[in-house]
Amino acid sequence: MARTAVVLMNLGGPDSPAAVRPFLMNLFSDPAIIRLPWVLRAPLAWLIASRRAQTAATIYARLGGASPLLANTQAQACALETRLGSDYRTFVAMRYWHPTSIETARQVARWEPDEVVCLPLYPQFSTTTTASSLSAWGQAARAAGLACPTRVVCCYPDEAGFVAALADLIRPALAEARGFAKPPRLLLTAHGLPQKIVDRGDPYQAQVERTARAVIAVLDEPELDWRVCYQSRVGPLAWIGPETETEIRRAGSAGVPLVVAPISFVSEHSETLVELDYDYRAVAQASGVPAYVRVPTVGVAPDFIAALALLVERARPAQASCSAVSGGRCVRASQSA
């Protein structure tokens, strides 16, 4: 059997208070995030990182001074390796912090695999996440001398195991939010994106909505009150909506209990553990929401790990992985579509 290296890709997060500012600098230096020439992007990235460093440090201080994303991703990697078997080895590559793509590519090269499968942990494709991580990996693999065939998982917004894992986590949360004067409303929340990126053809919003429809179909509750919303907006640009905070305030005005389920994040990190658990919960309480129940991310849920294993086995050659990798619209919703 071929020796297959599976590279799980995620954004990463600072591993200490001192890492917050350089992490932000790496983030805003990415041309997929700020689409300007380097001569303009570099000073702007420095300015944004400098201005946001203290706020970000406060957020990570609530998590003990560091992001838990790496540990959570490593747990997923271990679970996936166990599921795939002895011919596979999993590795983790983070886009904006350690282990970086070049660090991981060198580890993979030392293992001498027969092939590599890139597995972005972004269920919905975006040029700002999946395409950016794959581009960074391609550069790193070349620098590390990795010349073996590479296959890529493009996106999996409605992959059956992913959707089943979400639905299994949502059902008990809905039960917890029942028993009030009004039935609960389900908010399926995803990370936001500037509207202009979507207007350029980025498929992210369409794929988030596809995830939502798949989850609702599996829940099979015809009377369920639900909607998609978007969180984590920053800066003055127009972002896709509706905003999660706006929907929370609207529910409070109507006296409706809420179940809030993240559907674009597969691991717990600052935007779930702080933004959803603390900041938005405080908004809900101040707005008069009768109940606020937050659904966990899929993490190492067996159905999700099984779905990742299937995606790895079905992954396609890098050059045929997804039209969106080269800037076009992603025409496939999952590897099976």
- Taking the whole predicted model, whether its pTM rises above 0.85 is answered as yes
d(CA 73, CA 261) in angstroms, rounded, equals: 19
- Would you identify the CATH topology of the domain 160-294? Rossmann fold (3.40.50)
Q: How large is the angle between the packed helices 20-29 and 38-61, nearest 10 degrees? A: 140
Q: Is the pLDDT of residue 295 over 70?
A: yes
Residue 281 — very low, low, confident or very high, per pLDDT cuts 50/70/90? very high
Above 50 in pLDDT, residue 328?
no
Q: Where are the domains of the chain?
A: 17-61, 160-294
Quick: pLDDT tens for 112-142.
999 999 999 999 999 999 999 999 999 999 9
Give residue 273's pLDDT: 98
Contact 243, 170 (CB under 8 A): no
Instruction: Measure CA 312 to chain center.
Output: 18
Does position 324 have pLDDT exceeding 70, yes or no?
no
| β-strand partners of 100 | 94
DSSP result, 66-112: S-SHHHHHHHHHHHHHHHH-TTEEEEEEESSSSSBHHHHHHHHHHH-
Mark out the alpha helices in the chain (DSSP H runs): 20-29, 38-61, 69-84, 101-111, 130-143, 160-176, 195-199, 204-219, 244-254, 270, 280-287, 302-314
Place of tokens 């600052």: 270
Amino acid 146: pLDDT = 96
pLDDT tops 60 at residue 111: yes
What's the pLDDT at 334?
Answer: 34
Q: How many residues does the chain have?
A: 337
A 10 A CB-CB count for 160 gives 16
Tell me the mean pLDDT in the region 270-276. Answer: 97
- Average pLDDT for residues 285-299, to the nearest whole number? 98
